[in-house]
Structure 1
Amino acid sequence: MSHSAYHPASPSRMPRRMRTKAGRKLERGGYLTVETVTLWVVYALTILGNALIEGGQLAGATSATIAYAVFTWFTPAGYVFSIWSLIYVALVVWLVAYTKTAPTRPQRFTATSVLFVASCVLNVAWLAIWHFDQVAISFVVILAEWAVLAALYLNVRRTAATPAGRVPIAIYAAWVTVATIANMAILITRVLDGGIAFLNGLSAVALTAGVLVLGYLMYRRFHELAFPLVFLWALIGVGVQVAQVSMLTAVIVFVLAAVGAVLTFVPLGKVRGMLQGR
């Protein structure tokens, strides 16, 4: 090879390399981008923010003390909120899946990453405002978070190639849907100073039916199990909670949940066909 055919790159043209072996591997693979690093940092800050706000009892309160300060007929029992652990673990799975696809994307922020960052910001903002017992403002914030997550879910439905790139966001969006309705119920109950006894039970039944219908539609339209499963988890918790004041309402909620599960998951047409075939 002649000297004229070989032109070593000048230092100014050489790409910057991470000094560690892991860093060089990530950089060669194209995974370590401004976008992916930003998403991981924002996620870590979201976890830290939640830990500091909730663990440190910002404003001398916890989420539970605000949620249960007045009895609300559409607030799930406390154990139901353990789903947040599942959500945060699932988001790690989603971040890994999204990071793996970084080499296929231009070196810029996508709509998916922007929406994810916005959801994280709203997540922490809602929790902080909630701790200050600003239920009305927190409802506006969580409504915005729900809209962002709905847009994020529709986006990943279109762009994600694997379940890992879609299901975690579905779980998150489904739970925030329930949380938004619960926030609304708490706000209305406070405004009405405990509400109206008959309408309280009726509203719990109506909201249960509405959530089940939404889960059914999401499953039929998108074949997404996460929505109806998360909704059923929450609604059973609503029944457990409301049983403290009205066993009749609780039974109706449980029956509706059972019927909703059957209509959503059991292929009634096939069952009917098998019975007729006999």
Structure 2
Amino acid sequence: MLRSNPYKWWNWLAFVAAMVVNALANTAVLGGKTTGEISDQYPTMITPEGYAFTIWSLIYVLLLGFLLYQSGRVTETRDSVRSIGPWFIISCVLNIAWLLLWQYEYIELSLVAMVLLLLSLFVIYRRTRSIYYPTSGEMWLIKLPFSLYFGWLSVAVILNIAIVLKKNGWNGFGLSELVWAVVFLLAGALIAILVSYPYRDSIYPLVFVWGYVAIALEQQDQVERAFIAALILAIILFVYAIYLFFARSRDRD
């Protein structure tokens, strides 16, 4: 076994770089507008209330926890840590690329970068799910951060697809924007179920619940049926997440 984690300092460097770009994006230094201001230019029926994006703060705090864990003298050589290393670096680079493209309003290209970021997180997620008999550190500082991160990127990709279609004046094959909003919401709920069920991962669908409640609150005064659809799906996914939690506990026993 290697004495140290060869990706340890590269992980730190990539994460710090991503945080710097995030800070610049949210203070309008890049492109003259904040990330939220650009999003507001393309309102859709699945746009959530602004508070939903505060989940990024939790994600980044948990990723910082992962970095501290992978830097520990005892934990840095764990297979669970080293197998993630190169993909974590890739995810940070793609996070930076997505933000830069978004800030300079290359919206379509930013979606491509976001999808690639989602794929890199999917690889990490699969690897975290293959950790058998995880320690408490692996549960809280490896599995949890990447379930949350992968979950929110899944929601964000769906939202950004809607934004790209809105920007380009897509006519929806003659169907109304409301119909497509419901289709997107249903597709997201189906993804949440299909991804999480094999791993009995209750965190992943809970992220969709967070997003869907925020969508419902944003749309309650705009489109009543979009509000109802988002709220009903949020309730269904919440119940499903509770089921997964107890199913996982039962499987352990």
Q: Distance in 2 between matches of 1:194 and 1:250?
A: 22
Equivalent residue runs for 1:1-278 within 5 Å: 33-100=5-72, 101-104=75-78, 110-159=82-131, 161=134, 162-163=138-139, 164-192=141-169, 199-266=176-243
In structure 2, stretches of 5+ residues that fail to align are 248-253
Query: Could you tell me the TM-score, scaled by structure 1's length?
Result: 0.77
Following TM superposition, by how much is the alpha carbon of 1:34 offset from its aligned partner in structure 2, in angstroms?
4.3
Deviations 1:51-72 (A, max 9, x none): 1232243111111111110221
Q: 1:223 to 1:195 in 2, by over 3 A?
A: same
Following TM superposition, by how much is the alpha carbon of 1:128 offset from its aligned partner in structure 2, in angstroms?
1.1
Deviations 1:34-93 (A, max 9, x none): 421221122122111211232243111111111110221122111100000000001012
2:206–2:241 contact (8 Å) kept in structure 1: no
Query: Could you tell me the TM-score, scaled by structure 2's length?
Result: 0.84
Deviations 1:219-274 (A, max 9, x none): 3211212211111000111112222421222122212221332244248xx9xxxx
2:202–2:241 contact (8 Å) kept in structure 1: no
1:98–1:165 contact (8 Å) kept in structure 2: no
Following TM superposition, by how much is the alpha carbon of 1:98 offset from its aligned partner in structure 2, in angstroms?
2.5
Identity across matched positions, percent? 26
Deviations 1:12-46 (A, max 9, x none): xxxxxxxxxxxxxxxxxx56x54212211221221
Following TM superposition, by how much is the alpha carbon of 1:188 offset from its aligned partner in structure 2, in angstroms?
0.4
Q: Distance in 2 between matches of 1:224 and 1:231?
A: 13
SS at match of 1:103: coil
Runs of 4+ in 1 over 4 A off after TM superposition: 193-198
Deviations 1:94-135 (A, max 9, x none): 222323322346xxx954111100100111111111011111
Q: Distance in 1 between matches of 2:30 and 2:70?
A: 33
Following TM superposition, by how much is the alpha carbon of 1:159 offset from its aligned partner in structure 2, in angstroms?
4.2
Q: Distance in 2 between matches of 1:61 and 1:196?
A: 33
Greater displacement, 171-180 / 150-159: 150-159
Q: 1:194 to 1:238 in 2, by over 3 A?
A: farther
Please provide the CA RMSD for this pair.
2.6
Q: Distance in 2 between matches of 1:258 and 1:159?
A: 30
In structure 1, stretches of 5+ residues that fail to align are 1-29, 271-278
- Larger Rg over CA atoms: 1
Aligned residues: 236
Q: 1:179 to 1:191 in 2, by over 3 A?
A: same
